[in-house]
Amino acid sequence: MKFNRREVLAYLGTGAAALAAPMAARAQSWPSKPIKLVIGYSTGGSTDATARLVGRQLEQRLGQPMVFEYKPGAGASMGAEFVAKSVADGYTIGLTDTGPMAVVPHLRKLAYDPLKDFTPLSYVCATGLAVLVHPSVPANNIKELIALAKADPEKYNYASSGVGSVHHLAGELFKSQAGVKMAHVPYRGAGPALTDLVGGQIPVMFATIGPSLQMIAAGKVKALGVTSAKRSKALPDVPTVAEQGLAGYEAVLWFSMVGPANLPAPISARLQKELQASLVDPELIRELEKLGNDDIGPRTPQEVSALVKSEMEKWGRVIKDAHITVDS
């Protein structure tokens, strides 16, 4: 039995349409069940709190519950990998950040490509870090800290939440721009590092603002500067590092919402629409600011992709120049 070319093409076209029809129907009826929101950290941290605030808004707007799933490990890359490998049906999305998207790819081999294996949905917010010192350190601003570090390089070591964390890289960028030598002391998480800073076992720390606020307010640590380009609303009286002489210095932990690659256009558009509406909600903005977040608001998928690319280039240079490896 022979078929001419036109019959074959018609047959293939009919088959493709038959396969596409159920997918289109599912996209139109989405969401019809709970949506999984993946977080690359353990419960109870500032990332978890940020995810829950945004997730609560999405629940109200989408009419389906958000199920929070925690995939900690490997600098939050385990969570990002889980999202990247999920079925692109709109029922698995993730809150990701600078670490797994722009830092970890330079430190270890990953099973995902930050620029190819995700559907960017929206930017969410960012948090700068605070440059903290123990009260015994005789410095009340960044210039004085730099002077101390230059005078006694072996004394003013700095702590971070771990090798390859944004906190670690913020410290390395600071050293590079300030022209100082400060040994890095990595901890297994920010909590133990902050505890040792308060106890005087370590003199300096680059720490996420939110979890540090109580210690700063109680006078248990001093905040000499913030690493964002603008002052944090949570610490309005603390000047930026850039204001204090290191022009152009900026190190922030930013968050974005993503889905797996090839998310159906109707689902992607709906998620983008609801995230855009959520992230201009005054109540949500107030709650996110209480956690130490700033720069809150939506951005287009194209803007998110451009941010990931530029941040990968920036932190890649810092990692290369500082010779950072997972064993550093």
* Predicted confidence (pLDDT) at residue 221 exceeds the cutoff of 80: yes
H helix count then E strand count, the chain: 11, 9
Q: pLDDT-based confidence at 19, cuts 50/70/90?
A: very low
* Predicted confidence (pLDDT) at residue 20 exceeds the cutoff of 90: no
Secondary structure of residue 187 in the 3-state scheme? coil
- Consecutive H or E run containing 124: strand 118-133
Q: Crossing angle, helix 46-62 and helix 265-278, to 10 degrees?
A: 110
d(C-alpha 31, C-alpha 88), whole Å: 13
* Predicted confidence (pLDDT) at residue 100 exceeds the cutoff of 70: yes
Burial class (CB in 10 A: 0-12, 13-18, 19+), 259: buried
User: If you ran DSSP here, which 8-state letter would residue 65 be given?
Assistant: P
pLDDT of 15 reads 52
The residue whose two tokens read 């199920």 is: 67
**Could you give the percent of the chain with pLDDT greater than 90?**
82
- Consecutive H or E run containing 103: none
Q: Which of 15-24, 31-40, 60-69, 303-312 has the lowest mean pLDDT?
A: 15-24
pLDDT of 188 reads 83
> Chain-wide mean pLDDT for the chain?
91
**CATH for the 32-126+253-321 domain, from 3.40.190.150, 3.40.630.20, 3.30.1180.20, 1.20.140.10:** 3.40.190.150
Tokens of 282: 């005054």
Homologous superfamily of domain range 128-244: Periplasmic binding protein-like II (3.40.190.10)
pLDDT of 4 reads 60
d(C-alpha 137, C-alpha 121), whole Å: 44
The residue whose two tokens read 């900026």 is: 250
Please name which of 253, 248, 256 lies closest in space to residue 293, comparing C-alpha atoms: 253
Q: pLDDT-based confidence at 2, cuts 50/70/90?
A: low
pLDDT of 44 reads 82
Residue span(s) of the chain under CATH 3.40.190.150 come to 32-126+253-321
Q: pLDDT-based confidence at 8, cuts 50/70/90?
A: very low
pLDDT of 264 reads 98
- Consecutive H or E run containing 115: none
Burial class (CB in 10 A: 0-12, 13-18, 19+), 36: middle
139-to-171, 221, 303 alpha-carbon distances in Å: 17, 12, 39
Residue span(s) of the chain under CATH 3.40.190.10 come to 128-244
Task: Classify the C-alpha dihedral 279-285-289-295 as positive or negative.
Answer: positive
Tens digit of pLDDT for each residue in 146-188? 999 999 988 999 999 888 899 999 999 999 999 999 999 998 8
pLDDT of 46 reads 83
Task: Classify the C-alpha dihedral 81-254-306-295 as positive or negative.
Answer: positive
Tens digit of pLDDT for each residue in 236-260? 999 999 999 999 999 999 999 999 9
d(C-alpha 124, C-alpha 103), whole Å: 18
Stretch 118-141: mean pLDDT:
97
Tens digit of pLDDT for each residue in 21-38? 454 555 678 999 999 999
* Residues forming a β-bridge with 205: 132, 159
Instruction: Please give the model's pTM, rounded to 2 decimal places.
Output: 0.86
pLDDT of 318 reads 95
pLDDT of 162 reads 87
> Phi-psi region for residue 113, left (φ > 0), alpha (ψ -120 to 50) or beta?
beta
